[in-house]
Amino acid sequence: MEMIVETNQNENEFLPEKEKAKLSFCIKETARLWRRYHLDYNQSGYIVKQTRKELEIKNDKPKSKVIQRLSEAECNSLIDYAYNMKSSYAMILKTLLFTGVRVSELVSIKIEHINFNECELFIERGKGDKERVIPLFKFLSDEIRTYVNDRRAGYLFESRSNTKFSTRRIQQIVSQIGKEVGIRQSIHPHLFRHTIATYLLNKGVPIDRVQMFLGHSKIETTQIYAKTNIFNLKESIKQLEFKDEKKNEDKPQFVYGDPKSLQWR
């Protein structure tokens, strides 16, 4: 299990409303002084900085947020084990991983939402009721086509009663597979979303395209995955080493251009 550590330096900038009310008088007095001396932006900024220095006011230690993700070996182990349990479980894991959909989006996917000819998946109601189109890896599109067989409508993943899975049931399936495979950290559906996001960025896909792929409304959310960690650094160094070309012939390569051209080869 690999982790990305995000340092959020903006959290301490937000104050409770009660504290803001207490500071209103101080703000008015400060504004009065700045008007008196006709301070501009740079001058006022300099005064704030020097005042903090004079009073020895220091910023609290920034909080760190740990973003977990799966390694390639762990993904393969989970998917292989899922195939031995039930083919539908393996397809659930693959869809979570290679589309990056949220679990709430996964359970709502209908067969008619998939354009197999164009390798596209339509998300009807994403987070915030937003729609988006996700480009599908060609191999995943082909596997889903085989999986649905002659079904032309209905939910992609259905229970025995031909109704859609609940998000809780998907969480249980993923967790169960993780435990049986023997991965120590708890495995949950969102972990696959973290994994594909980091993978795409590490392969050079522009961050704005990854933002569109994941359906993030703000690019700052996507930037969490762009934080450099020791694993990424090691991988970058490895790629600079001279290797035998024959050993890399079958190495998967991510190719991008237009978002629709995302493919695994």
pLDDT tens digit string along 183-218?
A: 877 899 999 999 999 888 888 888 889 889 999 888
Instruction: Establish whether 190 is a catalytic residue.
Output: yes
Same domain, 176 and 191: yes
pLDDT tens digit string along 124-156?
A: 877 877 889 999 999 999 999 999 998 989 999
Same domain, 73 and 203: yes
Same domain, 57 and 20: yes
In a domain, 134, yes or no: yes
In a domain, 239, yes or no: no
pLDDT tens digit string along 72-107?
A: 899 999 999 999 999 999 999 999 999 999 999 999
Instruction: Establish whether 38 is a catalytic residue.
Output: no
Tally Cβ neighbours within 10 Å of residue 4. Answer: 20
Same domain, 57 and 178: no
Q: Which of 69, 89, 94, 102 is catalytic?
A: 102
Biggest alpha carbon distance in the chain? 78
* Sequence-separated (6 or more) residues with CB below 8 Å from residue 152: 111, 112
Q: Whole-angstrom Cα distance, residue 128 to residue 131?
A: 9
| Predicted local distance difference test score (pLDDT) of residue 53 | 87
C-beta separation of 158 from 88 below 8 A? no
Q: Which domain holds residue 43?
A: 8-64
Same domain, 106 and 174: yes
Here the CATH number for the domain that contains residue 96 is 1.10.443.10
| Predicted local distance difference test score (pLDDT) of residue 185 | 74
In a domain, 253, yes or no: no
What per-residue string of b and e applies to 242-251 under the rule 16 or more CB within 10 Å gives b? eeeeeeeeee
Same domain, 60 and 72: no
In a domain, 189, yes or no: yes
Tally Cβ neighbours within 10 Å of residue 51. Answer: 11
Instruction: Establish whether 194 is a catalytic residue.
Output: no
Nearest to 92 by CA among 104, 79, 77, 74: 79
Instruction: Establish whether 37 is a catalytic residue.
Output: no
Same domain, 106 and 201: yes
In a domain, 260, yes or no: no
In a domain, 252, yes or no: no
Same domain, 13 and 76: no
Q: Which of 132, 169, 188, 190 is catalytic?
A: 190
Instruction: Establish whether 246 is a catalytic residue.
Output: no
| Predicted local distance difference test score (pLDDT) of residue 66 | 63
Distances in whole angstroms, Cα of residue 245 to Cα of each of 72, 236, 252: 21, 17, 14
Same domain, 96 and 207: yes
Same domain, 85 and 33: no
Same domain, 56 and 85: no
Rg of the chain on CA atoms, in Å: 24
In a domain, 255, yes or no: no
Same domain, 44 and 72: no
Q: Would you say residue 113 has pLDDT above 60?
A: yes
Q: Would you say residue 159 has pLDDT above 80?
A: yes
In a domain, 243, yes or no: no
Q: Which of 69, 194, 209, 216 is catalytic?
A: 216
C-beta separation of 97 from 223 below 8 A? no
Instruction: Establish whether 209 is a catalytic residue.
Output: no
Provide the pLDDT confidence category of residue 61 given band limits of 50, 70 and 90: low
User: Residue 90 class from Cβ within 10 Å (0-12 exposed, 13-18 middle, 19+ buried)?
Assistant: buried
Q: Would you say residue 174 has pLDDT above 50?
A: yes
Q: Give rounded-to-5 percent helix, strand, coil for the chain.
A: 55, 10, 30
Residue with tokens 């990424």: 232
| Predicted local distance difference test score (pLDDT) of residue 248 | 47
Counted domains in the chain: 2
pTM over the 0.85 mark:
no
Q: Which of 94, 164, 193, 209 is catalytic?
A: 193
Q: Which of 127, 132, 169, 260 is catalytic?
A: 127
Q: Would you say residue 2 has pLDDT above 90?
A: no
Share of the chain above pLDDT 90, in %: 37
